Amino acid sequence: MDRLSAMAAFLAVVDTGGFASAARRLNVSPSVVTRAVGELEARLGVRLLVRTTRFVRLTEAGTGYAEDCRRILAELDAADGAAAGAHAAPSGRLTLTGPVNFGRMYVLPIVHRYLAQFTQVDVGCWFVDRVVNLVDEGVDLAVRIGDLPDSSLQAVQVGQVRQVLCASPDYLARHGTPQRPEELAQHVVVAATGVSATSEWRFHEGRKQIPVRLQPRLTVSTNEAAAASAAAGMGITRLPLYQIAQAVQDGQLALLLEAFERAPLPIHVVHREGRNAPYKVRAFLDLAVQTLRSDPRLR
């Protein structure tokens, strides 16, 4: 096997987590993949992978080599695509991920526009409330809400999310409107475990942090259920503003204690390859950045 094919086989093992799964991806026998990785290790004189009966993981040398292989193969694909005119017509499969609610409300409409514009691309959407490992799970892009850990991934900030308190005008007419966070202890609280799994809500007053421990009267597993309960007058809840913006505009919910809100959470579009990303990835990234940055609900 030539060196570039061996690099591709090595990356397939890294991305899928095993020799057998890499062989299935490449449609070759496991022995071919094993031999290719062995040839690379013999040529380099270092061990790239640690193999056991249960897992395969990268060595320190293998980690750096995998990044270099990914960059080299991406540059070759970009050169081939430019020469063949592929940049004018992206094709293949694009896989992306994002949080469930944000994905449904904001990412899916972008996907619809993307599919209409680029008819040779198929898109797979993973809308899940967990952090998907792009490399390990073979995902091209991710939309993430919150501060990002340091990593080799590329990230573009496209907006921010306010976490707001809200209640219905009917509830506030019956129970009064709290003027400070500490007053929430005397109010009925609806908690959404998707926003916070704890019964302590934190607020800010200047540089001072104000923690308020609460006993929710109603706890629900989804943000939609919390919003519906608050609109029905059941109590005060805390939710991302984008999820209740329409209800606030329609007068079904009112915002509370805005002066004490925590700093908004950033929204990023994250991808792997940087400037060497395939055109299908860069085209979606451009469309997502333009669309999300222009949305006033995400500012």
Residue 268 lies in a domain: no
| Contact between residue 261 and residue 204 where contact means Cβ atoms under 8 Å apart | yes
Tokens representing 64 are 């750096």
Residue 102 lies in a domain: yes
- DSSP secondary structure string, 187-249? S-BEEETTT-SSSEEEEEETTEEEEEE---SEEESSHHHHHHHHHTTS-BEEEEHHHHHHHHH
Q: Is the pTM of this model over 0.95?
A: no
Write down which residue in 84, 111, 139 finishes a domain.
84
Residue 265 lies in a domain: no
Number of domains in the chain: 3
Round to whole Å and give the CA distance between 26 and 12.
8
Q: Which domain holds residue 220?
A: 163-260
CATH code of residue 98? 3.40.190.10
Helix (H) or strand (E) holding 76: helix 60-84
Handedness of CA 81, 82, 84, 88 (dihedral sign): positive
Residues 2-14: pLDDT tens digits?
Answer: 899 999 999 999 9
- Asked if 112 and 194 sit in the same domain, the reply is no
- Asked if 143 and 281 sit in the same domain, the reply is yes
Round to whole Å and give the CA distance between 145 and 188.
28
Average of per-residue pLDDT values in the chain? 89
- Asked if 167 and 241 sit in the same domain, the reply is yes
pLDDT tops 90 at residue 134 = no
Residue 266 lies in a domain: no
Write down which residue in 57, 84, 111 finishes a domain.
84
User: Does residue 28 sit in helix, strand or coil?
Assistant: coil
At 197 the pLDDT is: 52
Write down which residue in 84, 103, 135 finishes a domain.
84
Closest CA to 129 of 113, 145, 118, 117: 145
- Asked if 241 and 183 sit in the same domain, the reply is yes
At 104 the pLDDT is: 93
Residue 267 lies in a domain: no
- Asked if 177 and 252 sit in the same domain, the reply is yes
Residues 50-64: pLDDT tens digits?
Answer: 988 778 889 999 999
Share of the chain above pLDDT 70, in %: 93
Residues 74-125: pLDDT tens digits?
Answer: 888 767 766 665 555 678 899 999 998 899 999 999 999 999 999 999 999 9
- Asked if 78 and 115 sit in the same domain, the reply is no
- Average pLDDT score over residue span 243-258: 95
Round to whole Å and give the CA distance between 167 and 150.
37
| Contact between residue 164 and residue 241 where contact means Cβ atoms under 8 Å apart | yes
